[in-house]
Structure 1
C-alpha cells in the first residue's frame, strides 16, 4: 500500500491553495465543502475564484509564491503550471511539516487527493496513487450508480439512534446484528424511497420488539427488454438486496446474473397457448405470503410492470393485504426494441402518434378496434403478436390499411442475438413461413419502419 488512507478534519482550519486557474477552483470548492477557511495565492485568478472571494468564501492573496508564504496551515495544495514553483512549494511545506499536495505530481506530494463519492456523512475515496486517474474516475462512476444518495440520510438516522441502540443491546455482536438488519432491510429501503419518518418509527418499534418478525416488502421491478445495461439504478439496487426473486420468462439471463447470489429464485413464467404456465392468482398469493414472513421480495418482470405486465393486478392484491410495496418502471419492449432496431416510434415526417397493443386479451380473444388502427401518421406496436401475426395483417387490410404498409418483426430485441425482419402486410405471411422466428418478438406497423435501413445502428 503506497499511501495510508485517512480523512482529515479541516473544518474552520486555515488551508492554502496556490494557483488561480480552474484546477485550483475545483480544489477550493472541495475545501469549502469541508468547511475549511481557504486562502488562495496567485498573481491572477479565474472568474470562478473571484466570484467565491466576492461571496466571502475564499481570501485572495494576489502575489507570486515565496517560501515565506508558508504559515500554520492545516494543508497546502499547489496547482500552478510552473514546475519549479511547485517544487519550491513542496520543499517549503515539507520543511514546515505541513501536509502538501501538488496536483498531478505524487512524487512532490505528502498526500494525494482521491476521487470522491460524497454521501455525507458517508464519504468514499478512491485512488490509484496517481498512476491511473482516468481508471479511478470510471470506478467512481460505477460506485455512484450503486450507492444511492440517501445513504447519507441513512447514516444521519443511524447517528440519531446510536445511543438508544447501545442502551438496548449491551453486547457488541447484538448491536452489530441489529444495525445489519436495519441497513440491509425494509427500513433502509424506506429511507431510500423518502419515507423518513416511517423508517424512524420502524426503528423505534424494532428496538422495542427486536425478536418479532417484521412485515416484509415487495418490489415490483421492471427488468427492461433484455439488455442488462438498460436497468435503472433503483432496479439494480433492489434486485441485489432482495431475499426472494420471482421472475418470469422474459427476464434475460444477463439481468438474472445481477441478482444477489444467495437470493431464493422462484420461476413464475407464463406461456401462451396450451403450454403450462403459473397462474396469476398463485403469483399474487406467493407475494403476499413471502412478505408476511418478513422477506424482501422482488417481483422481476420483463419490460415495464405496468405495460402488459399485469403489475396492476399484483399490487391490488398486495394493497388488499396491507403489504408495503414499491414499483420501479422499466424500459418497455416497444421503446427498447424499436430503439435498438433503428425505428423511431414517432417522427415528424411519418408518425405523430403511437399505440401499444396486446394481441391477446384476458379471455384469449383478439377483439381489437381495427378501424382506429387504420389512420394516417400512426405507429402501432403489437406485443405478443407472433402467433397471431397473419390474422393481424389480414384484419388491418380488411379495414383499409395499405397492403404495402411496412412491418418489422424484432426477435430478442436489445440482446446480442437480436434479429430484425422487415416486410409488409401482404408479404409477412410468406416471411413467417420461411424464417424460423421465435419469441420473444415485437411487431411494429407503420411508415416509421422504412427508417430502419437508414438508422439501424445496433449490431451493424
Structure 2
C-alpha cells in the first residue's frame, strides 16, 4: 500500500467519463460477438493459413484492443502469448485454439529465450496453421519483434504486423497526463529503461517530455544522470503502474531530485513498481489523484 504523503497517491475510483468510455467499449465487443454468432461478415480480414500475425494486444483487456487485433485472436489456430498480455484477451479465442505461453520478463529465470520463440513461430506456421504472436502494447515499441521478423523472413514464412495501443501513450492518459501541451511540451522522447547506458542524457535533459518504459528498477540511476546532464532536480516525475488493472493501479508522484526518497517512503523499489510507465517533465505535474478504471 502507498502512504498518504503528498508525493505518493493511492488511486481511487474513476470518474463517470471513464466508466462511460469502457462501458461503450464493452458494448461494442458484445455486438461483435453477436454478429459472429449470427454469421454476419466480421469487420476484419480472415487469417491466412501458414502465416504469422505479430499482434499488439494493447495495454490492458479487450476494451483497449484494436478491431484488427480482436479479429486475429478470434480466428487464430495458435496463440503465442507474452506474459504481460491480459488473460481476458486469451479468453476470446475459439475452443480449438492452442495457447502457448512464452513469458519474457527482464531478468526472470523462467523467461523464454527469444530464439525459442522464433523457432515456435516458424514451426507452427509451417504446419499450415494461422499463428498469432500476441504481445502487450504495440509490437514495434520495445517489443523485440525484429528478431521474430528476421527469423520468419529467413524461413520464408509470411507474416503480418498488427499495431496496438502502446502503454507509452495509454498509461499517461489513465493518469490524465497530456504528453504534449501548448507552451509546456512540444516534443516527446521515448526511452527504454533496459538501455540506460545507451541514453543520450544531454539530449534527454533538454526534452520537453520524457517517457520511459521498463525503467522501474533503473530509474534512480537515470534520474541522477539526467540531473548531472543539466535537468532541474525540481522536474516533475510521475510513475504509472498497471494503468488499466483496477486491483493493481498506482501512481507515484515526485521530482527528479526527490525520486529515491519518495520511492523509499512508499516502500517501493525495483520490481514492486513494475510494470510501470514513467513520465518526466512539466506535464507530469498534471497527474491526477484518480485514474481511469475499467468498469
Is the pair's TM-score, using the shorter chain for normalization, greater than 0.5? yes
1:370 pairs with one of 201, 204, 207: 201
**Counterpart residue number, 2:69:** 235
1:329 and 1:267 map into 2 onto residues whose CA distance is 20
**Counterpart residue number, 1:299:** 133
1:337 matched to 2:147: no
1:440 and 1:294 map into 2 onto residues whose CA distance is 35
1:280 matched to 2:138: no
2:82 and 2:242 map into 1 onto residues whose CA distance is 15
Number of residue equivalences: 260
TM-score (normalizing by structure 1)? 0.53
Matches of residues 43-122 of structure 1 in structure 2 within 5 Å? none
2:194 pairs with one of 339, 344, 360: 360
Q: Post-superposition shift, 1:148?
A: 3.0
Specify whether residues 276 and 138 from structure 1 end up closer, same or farther in structure 2 by C-alpha distance, changes over 3 A only: closer
**Counterpart residue number, 1:427:** 258
2:28 and 2:43 map into 1 onto residues whose CA distance is 18
Specify whether residues 139 and 274 from structure 1 end up closer, same or farther in structure 2 by C-alpha distance, changes over 3 A only: closer
Specify whether residues 258 and 366 from structure 1 end up closer, same or farther in structure 2 by C-alpha distance, changes over 3 A only: farther
Specify whether residues 430 and 139 from structure 1 end up closer, same or farther in structure 2 by C-alpha distance, changes over 3 A only: closer
SS at match of 1:453: coil
**Counterpart residue number, 1:63:** none
**Counterpart residue number, 1:401:** 231
CA contact (8 A) 1:223 1:300 kept: yes
**Counterpart residue number, 1:198:** none
Q: Post-superposition shift, 1:257?
A: 2.2
CA contact (8 A) 2:32 2:42 kept: no
Q: Post-superposition shift, 1:406?
A: 0.7
SS at match of 2:194: coil
Specify whether residues 320 and 144 from structure 1 end up closer, same or farther in structure 2 by C-alpha distance, changes over 3 A only: same
**Counterpart residue number, 1:189:** 47
Specify whether residues 398 and 285 from structure 1 end up closer, same or farther in structure 2 by C-alpha distance, changes over 3 A only: same
1:245 matched to 2:79: yes
Q: Deviations over 1:427-451 (max 9, x none)?
A: 2112222333332111111111112
1:138 and 1:326 map into 2 onto residues whose CA distance is 23
**Counterpart residue number, 1:314:** 148
Matches of residues 125-140 of structure 1 in structure 2 within 5 Å? none
1:229 and 1:441 map into 2 onto residues whose CA distance is 20
Specify whether residues 450 and 150 from structure 1 end up closer, same or farther in structure 2 by C-alpha distance, changes over 3 A only: closer
1:381 matched to 2:211: yes
1:441 matched to 2:276: yes
Q: Which runs of 5+ in 1 are unaligned?
A: 1-135, 152-187, 191-214
SS at match of 2:273: coil
Q: Post-superposition shift, 1:458?
A: 1.5
Specify whether residues 149 and 333 from structure 1 end up closer, same or farther in structure 2 by C-alpha distance, changes over 3 A only: closer
Q: Deviations over 1:123-181 (max 9, x none)?
A: xxxxxxxxxxxxx9996576569943478xxxxxxxxxxxxxxxxxxxxxxxxxxxxxx
1:150 and 1:395 map into 2 onto residues whose CA distance is 46
Q: Which runs of 5+ in 2 are unaligned?
A: 1-26
Specify whether residues 276 and 354 from structure 1 end up closer, same or farther in structure 2 by C-alpha distance, changes over 3 A only: same
- Structure 1 runs of 4+ aligned residues shifted over 6 Å read 136-139
SS at match of 1:291: helix
CA contact (8 A) 1:304 1:332 kept: yes
1:426 and 1:227 map into 2 onto residues whose CA distance is 35
Q: Deviations over 1:310-349 (max 9, x none)?
A: 1122112111211111111000011111111100111113
SS at match of 2:202: helix
Specify whether residues 290 and 331 from structure 1 end up closer, same or farther in structure 2 by C-alpha distance, changes over 3 A only: same
Larger Rg: 1
Q: Deviations over 1:6-42 (max 9, x none)?
A: xxxxxxxxxxxxxxxxxxxxxxxxxxxxxxxxxxxxx
SS at match of 1:326: strand
TM-score (normalizing by structure 2)? 0.81
Q: Which has the higher contact order (CA 8 A, sep 6+)?
A: 2
CA contact (8 A) 1:359 1:366 kept: no
1:148 matched to 2:42: yes
SS at match of 2:112: coil
2:67 and 2:258 map into 1 onto residues whose CA distance is 42
